[in-house]
Amino acid sequence: MDSLYLTIEEARRGLAEKKYSSHELIQASLDRISALNPKLNAFLTVTAETALAQADEIDAKRLRGDQLSPLAGLPLAVKDVLATRGVRTTAGSKILEQYIPPYTATAVQRLFDAGAIMVGKTNCDEFAMGSSGEWSAYGPTRNPWNTERVPGGSSSGSAAALASGMCLSALGTDTGSSVRQPAGFCNLVGLKPTYGRVSRYGLIAMASSLDQVGIFARTVEDSALILETIAGHDSLDSTSVSKTIFDLKESLKDVPKGLRLGIPKEYFIDGLDPAVETAIRKAIEDLRGLGFTIVDVSLPHTPDALAVYYLIMPAEASSNLARYDGIRYGLSLGDEAKDLIDIYRKTRAAGFGPEPKRRIILGTYVLSSGYYDKYYLKAQKVRSVIIQEYKDIFKTVDCLVTPTSPTVPFVIGERKEDPLQMYLADIFTVSANIVGLPAISIPAGFSDGLPIGLQLIGPHFQEHRLYQVARTYQAATSWHRQYPVG
């Protein structure tokens, strides 16, 4: 095989028709990783031997005529912030450089149970803290569309791996933008499910009330298949829900007429790249032409969402990262320390990079005596206002249509020394995490060869509605069928 630019359905059909075996499919994935990873730095760990052995087992089952899942024998990439038993899981940090989990994240295990084969663990911003893929302790990931540009973050490796044909699907995590923004930057479909739809067990926590496992795919149909596989209640995660998921495959066949799509004026602001705005406005008109009703709406507290996010997220991160103390697991410099406090200092100084340190300091500050009420508590109160605002708007529209990012992929290094500029990359995406809503980014055009993403945001547990709108747009366009050269 020369390429892995296949959808899951195409690959599954090829296996059924014996055009190739699972072994050949996995080997093609591994060959492409070997050829492209030195340039893109998408994978931190490659599990070649295990993947090929699993492929041989799937081929034997297929030869016997066993009933197999549509995902059986297909190459999957997993963000290195999701635990995998017996396979190194670093969270992109030196403090976990040698960490090998004794368990597997539930979402990953459900894909394994369906026969998907992990070819490796992908690079990410350290502890998922970043919007560009530049904050990994193991070097930046590069965008396959232009290697001088960022692929987005924090799920940078998963996006780059799928966009460059190293795998057929990938898991990421999304705390403020970390699946949708890299999907937009790499011309992929990227879904952040409703909070609680997918178990967070085995996800190395950054901000527990915001984190969610997400999906990278080439098409809406592929994304829906993966969501059906990983969704559902998990007794190991008290925040997961048992709410039944719609039959996504069936729901894609019957899209209701006249769905109302809201266009929030606050998402078309100063600072929005003119090329991005042009592409999104064109996509909105395309949606109108496809029979959707376009409604102008307002979400007045949208400008406050970024400030709320960057108070709540670092506060939760500072609490979650306190467990990395140089004593229980991970990096320890105890032999070089004179007392307990010195162990903490030396281990964290050497193990954490600049972005986790920045967020830990900020989070500790807003939780400290004298500042908790002024910053953290006030942010939570505004969060409640934003939640109600979205509940009210979804009484009048079925979903919202916005840009995914205010810009096209920016140059590596361009914003790294200016954290505030970097944080502004999340301005259109953080609200969905604050409220816990499902949101999806889909390919919607290009500017000078760089991808542009269109974001759809829906009511809680209405992923099927997002998929219906996204699938209708996808069927009428060919953006998702364009691939980077190389």
Residues belonging to the active site: 79, 154, 178
CA distance 232 to 234: 7
Q: Where are the alpha helices (DSSP H) in 231-273?
A: 248-251
Dist. CA 167–CA 118, nearest whole Å: 9
For residue 311, the SS3 value is helix
Cβ neighbors of 374 (< 8 A, separation 6 or more) are: none
Contact 192, 227 (CB under 8 A): no
Cβ count near 392 (within 10 Å): 10
Distance in angstroms (rounded) separating the CA atoms of residues 62 and 72: 9
Taking 3-state DSSP, the helix, strand and coil percentages for the chain, each rounded to the nearest 5, stand at: 45, 15, 40
Instruction: Name the token pair of 268.
Output: 């078309």
Between CA 444 and CA 405 the distance in angstroms is 12
Cα distances from 104 to residues 203, 208, 478, in angstroms, run 9, 18, 37
State the DSSP code for 320.
Answer: H
Q: What's the token pair of residue 479? A: 């953006």
d(C-alpha 35, C-alpha 165), whole Å: 11
Three-state secondary structure call for residue 27: helix
- Asked whether 151 and 142 are in contact (CB, 8 A), the reply is yes
For 249: left if phi > 0, alpha if psi spans -120 to 50, otherwise beta; the answer is alpha
Strands (E), 27-150: 43-46, 75-79, 117-122
- For residue 343, the tally of other CB atoms under 10 A from its CB is 19
Residue 3 is encoded by which pair of tokens?
């390429």
The amino acid sitting at 129 is M
Count CA atoms within 13 Å of residue 275 on its CB side: 12
How many Cα atoms are found within 13 Å in the side-chain-facing hemisphere of 100?
4
Collapsing DSSP to helix, strand or coil, 292 comes out as coil
Shortest CA distance to 262 belongs to which of 220, 286, 298, 301?
A: 298
